[in-house]
Structure 1
Amino acid sequence: MSGELHWFKSSYSDDEGANCLEVALSRSIHIRDSKLPASPEIQVHASAWATFIAAVQPGA
């Protein structure tokens, strides 16, 4: 992949410095702490992310 990732804040993040995540989408899902943009990131394959989301949905 070339170019920089486009990071965006989680819709659950607030402006008060609480637990915040930023996400970037490419061939995989990239996740990092929004308070520390230079922090390490977690990279997850899209199918694994979909499985995770399905498992944590209410009623799953």
Structure 2
Amino acid sequence: MKTENRTPLNWFKSSYSGDEGGECVEVAVAAPLWSKSSYSSNEGGECVEVAVTDAVVCVRDSKDVSRPHLSTPGASWSHFVRYATRA
């Protein structure tokens, strides 16, 4: 069987599923694919990663990916990028 590159999935068990077996339901949500900023280096300092989904743009600190990330609608992110890159 050929393996394809696919978006990783995060699985969540239903709150109605018990640990005793029987009927269990799990739902999968596509995990965002994170991209490191081209301004970030491997030498520490300020590092930012961005993930774009159908609904939002996610931003996180790449030095500590276990911390929460910021999620914003795509239009808001576009506005921020235009503002931040003005000369």
Deviation by residue 1:12-33 (Cα, 9 ceiling, x = unmatched): 1011011001111102110000
| 2:75 aligned counterpart, secondary structure | helix
Higher alpha-carbon Rg: 2
Over the residues paired in the alignment, what is the CA RMSD in angstroms? 1.5
Q: Distance in 1 between matches of 2:44 and 2:85?
A: 25
Pairing 1:43–2:84 present: no
User: What is the correspondence of 1:5-44 to structure 2 with a 5 Å cutoff?
Assistant: 5-26=32-53, 27-44=55-72
User: Which structure 1 residue ranges, 4+ long, deviate > 3 Å from structure 2?
Assistant: none
Which structure carries more relative contact order (alpha carbon 8 Å, separation 6+)? 1
TM-score under structure 1 normalisation?
0.86
Consecutive unaligned residues of structure 1, counting only runs of 5 or more, are none
Q: Identity of aligned pairs, percent?
A: 32
TM-score under structure 2 normalisation?
0.62
Say which structure is richer in helix. 1
